Amino acid sequence: MGVWIAIGAGAGALLGIGGIFLWARRRVRRFSRQVFGTDSLLQGLKEADVAHLESPRSLNGCDALLLPKILADFPDFDPNLAFTYARRYITEQLAGKEKLTVYRIVISKYLRTLAQKTIVMQAAVGFTENGQRFQNRYELDYTFILDEGSEHIAANCPNCGGALGFGETDCPYCGCRVASVLNNTWKFTAMREN
């Protein structure tokens, strides 16, 4: 009699453990599906690790600090447009690399002198070469040259056609805002691995 009770209790305990195991496995799968989009937690973690590797490591961005200073000099400066140009420039510079991905771009420095102003950007870039995945960090100089002799500066007001001096944000003839024209004089002048 005692033996049967023991066996019954043992079987009950086993069933209970099995139930908990099945329940836990279901929970893990559901969690994994929600977080990683796959039923296999291990697979999800592996993919998350790769995604982490490919995410930009330690970009020294100071966008929030530098943007107000840039906007003080160039009220119409559009960082998103500048980043779009940066992506295009990087893609041109690294033409021929397979699976090129520009993960993220930040502003890391703003260098001002009387003659020129340079926004230094940092970009995290990944590409494949000979079957191997690389992740590099590049520094780009985006320069506005305040040199009267420079051909970049020759701009005319889109409204009245009047000649514009460098650094002018309003047309001296008709008064219309011309900063967007002057934005065209921003040039990428250097790109280096960093």
In contact, 156 and 162? CB cutoff 8 Å: yes
How many residues does this entry show for the chain? 194
Measured from the CB of residue 178, what is the shortest distance to Zn ion in angstroms?
A: 7
Nearer to Zn ion, 40 or 159 (CB): 159
Q: Which amino acid type is present at position 78?
A: D
Tell which one of 73, 173, 180, 190 touches Zn ion (CB under 5 A): 173
Distance (Å, rounded) from C-alpha 144 to C-alpha 118? 6
Using the rule CB under 5 A, is 165 a contact of Zn ion?
Answer: no
Which stretch, 10-18, 30-38, 114-122, 160-168, contacts Zn ion (CB under 5 A)?
A: 160-168
Which stretch, 16-24, 45-53, 131-139, 156-164, contacts Zn ion (CB under 5 A)?
A: 156-164
Which stretch, 25-33, 77-85, 95-103, 173-181, contacts Zn ion (CB under 5 A)?
A: 173-181
Nearer to Zn ion, 55 or 180 (CB): 180
Tell which one of 120, 125, 171, 182 touches Zn ion (CB under 5 A): 171
Smallest Cα–Cα separation from 54: which of 110, 121, 137? 137
Measured from the CB of residue 154, what is the shortest distance to Zn ion in angstroms?
A: 15
Tell which one of 15, 51, 53, 174 touches Zn ion (CB under 5 A): 174
Nearer to Zn ion, 140 or 171 (CB): 171
User: Which sign, positive or negative, has the C-alpha torsion 39, 42, 43, 47?
Assistant: positive
Measured from the CB of residue 183, what is the shortest distance to Zn ion in angstroms?
A: 16
Using the rule CB under 5 A, is 164 a contact of Zn ion?
Answer: no
Residues that bind Zn ion (CB under 5 A): 157, 159-160, 162, 171, 173-174
